[in-house]
A and B are shown apart, each in its own frame.
Chain A
């Protein structure tokens, strides 16, 4: 009987656009009422531009972990200032998980 190791399953490859779309879905509920989801751009700063309450960054990190099946450390969170930072971080973590 063939044994299948988890590491044999390749992580589904995603392009930047796909990461962005998924992130937008995760981030949208945390936007203040006066900020529309259309305002979420690749270079948007979560706190300074999207006006997300910094306490909610913790919740966004947890949602990202669940969605992409990765674990983010405190320093990862500190580095996650913009949507682009988040995409890069998620991609790096997913690849690391695959190794």
Chain B
């Protein structure tokens, strides 16, 4: 696995941040200068020296697509963490593919291009305008770096992208079409990607002086989601191949489901159809062959809006569990914000780190659990501090604009 998150780059730093509740949400002076209502956001802090170690001088020239940088760091790290060779020579590895998603790639590069085109200076765009702004730019970059010869593509399903990607990779391996798939997703940072959400007035406006308190999933005082950015990556592989190589195995994907609420039954472009969410969770469990009682922990979508209470209700109904019987539940968005297209992959990485940690990571900023949630589940089930416990089976869900849903069931790997 690999990760480039607002509160940590690399598995060690990210794991520590989640365990200790370190926030990556900071005040963003550029958003203040541009009159944003919400002037706090989550953005990975990348040192220039780090970029130099991942990209050649020619790749760095005119590089404005920050999502691409996040994705390359996470993707390459996941590849190396899986024990694969990042500088392999010779023909492509026909058994390795990539499914690396994004929402909108290289928005700063696209802005530069728009200015040049409008000024009649299309010739000034240079050779990298296309590759930095095509959605599949990230999988194309990784494909070339790692020499992958199987399917190399990009999925896009709003905030479901990263979690959906895990299932797309898993299905391809299961159907025998690939031995391994690098899956993940990335999302740009900056005013042009976040502006639309600020305009929708769904971001918190009263925390510009207190960024670390701004993102409050499951809290009674939540005031909207904090925009984030970054990338996460997971290398999926058939168990046979992973064992043969002696690779480090974090977890098994037991199954999962994706669906869409059709913007019916209370669902809309921006709100989920609760029936579809429940179906998605139940289908994921069925395909995984897991009884709802066996879920130890949930990593929710839980963005820090008024919809969080509805999501908990959906989990209760889908699992048939509530009160003290409800599994542990957490959201990492309290410390990283909502990383949009990158949310699912970053959170899958974080959720799986819990297996090795032997703990459920705590929920930041939800000391005042929303009363509608407290009615449904025992407050201890949404721990505010990291809680040591043995986890065997974990459910991860992501929901996105367009009323799209994805749920994956992971199992701790025991040899």
Q: How far is the CB of B137 from chain A (nearest CB, A)?
A: 14
Measured in the bound complex, the distance between the Cα atoms of B307 and A37 in whole Å is: 58
Candidate in B56, B57, B123 with the most chain A CB atoms within 10 angstroms: B123
Contact present for A59 and B127 (CB under 8 Å): yes
B291 touches A (CB below 8 Å): no
Report A27 CB to chain B, min CB distance, Å. 11
B54-96 interface (Cβ within 8 A of A): 56-58, 61-62
The answer to whether A58 and B127 have CB atoms under 8 Å apart is: yes
Q: Which of B61, B123, B126, B127 has the largest number of chain A CB atoms within 10 A?
A: B127
CB-based contact B57/A29 at 8 Å = yes
Whether A59 and B62, one on each chain, are in contact in the complex, defined by CB atoms closer than 8 angstroms, is yes
| Residues of chain B lying within 8 A (CB to CB) of residue A29 | 57-58, 61
Q: How many A-B residue pairs have CB under 8 A?
A: 21
Contacts of B294 in A (CB 8 A): none
B99-133 interface code vs A (CB 8 A; 1 in, 0 out): 00000000000000000000000011011100000
Whether A59 contacts B56 by the Cβ 8 Å rule is no
Chain A, range 30-82, C-beta contacts under 8 Å to B: 30-31, 33, 55-56, 58-59, 62
Contacts of B58 in A (CB 8 A): 29-31, 56
Is the Cβ of B124 less than 8 Å from the Cβ of A59?
no
**Are the C-beta atoms of B57 and A59 separated by less than 8 Å?**
no
Shortest Cβ distance from residue A60 to the other chain B in the assembled complex, whole angstroms: 9
Cα–Cα, bound, A56→B127 (Å): 6
Residues on A with C-beta less than 8 A from B128 are 59
Inter-chain contact B61/A55, CB cutoff 8 Å: no
Closest to B62 in A: A59
CB distance from A35 to the nearest CB of B (A): 11
CA A28 to CA B123, docked complex, whole Å: 22
Measured between alpha carbons, how far is A58 from B126 in the docked complex, in Å?
6
> Contact: B56 with A55, CB < 8 Å?
no
Cβ contact within 8 Å between B126 and A62: yes
Query: Across the interface, which residues of A come within 8 angstroms of B61, CB to CB?
Result: 29-30, 59
Cα of A30 to Cα of B123 in the assembled complex, Å: 19
Q: How many angstroms from the CA of A28 to the CA of B61 in the assembled complex?
A: 12
Q: Which residue of A lies closest to B56 (CB)?
A: A33
A56–B58 Cα gap in the complex (Å)?
Answer: 9
Distance A7 CA – B128 CA, assembled complex (angstroms):
35
Chain B 9-22 interface mask (CB, 8 Å, partner A; 1/0): 00000000000000
Q: Which residues of A contact B57 (CB under 8 A)?
A: 28-29
How far apart sit A31 and B123, CA to CA, in the bound complex (Å)?
A: 22
A28 to B57 CA separation, bound complex (whole angstroms): 9
The complex places the Cα of A88 from the Cα of B127 at a distance, in Å, of 24
Q: With the chains together, A33 CA to B58 CA distance in Å?
A: 9
A73's closest neighbor in chain B, by CB?
A: B123
- Chain A residue nearest to B61 in the complex (CB): A29
With CB as the reference atom, state the residue of chain A lying closest to B128: A59
What is the bound-complex CA distance between A30 and B57, given in angstroms?
7
Contact of A55 among B62, B123, B124, B127 (CB under 8 A): B127
Distance to closest chain A CB from B51 (angstroms): 14
Sample of 12 A–B contacts (CB below 8 Å): A28-B57, A29-B61, A31-B58, A33-B56, A55-B127, A58-B126, A58-B127, A59-B61, A59-B126, A59-B127, A59-B128, A62-B124
A59-B62, A62-B123 are known; give 7 further A-B pairs, CB within 8 A. A29-B57, A29-B58, A30-B61, A56-B127, A58-B127, A59-B126, A59-B128
9 tightest Cβ-Cβ pairs between the two chains A and B: A55-B127, A29-B57, A58-B127, A59-B126, A30-B58, A59-B127, A29-B58, A62-B126, A56-B127
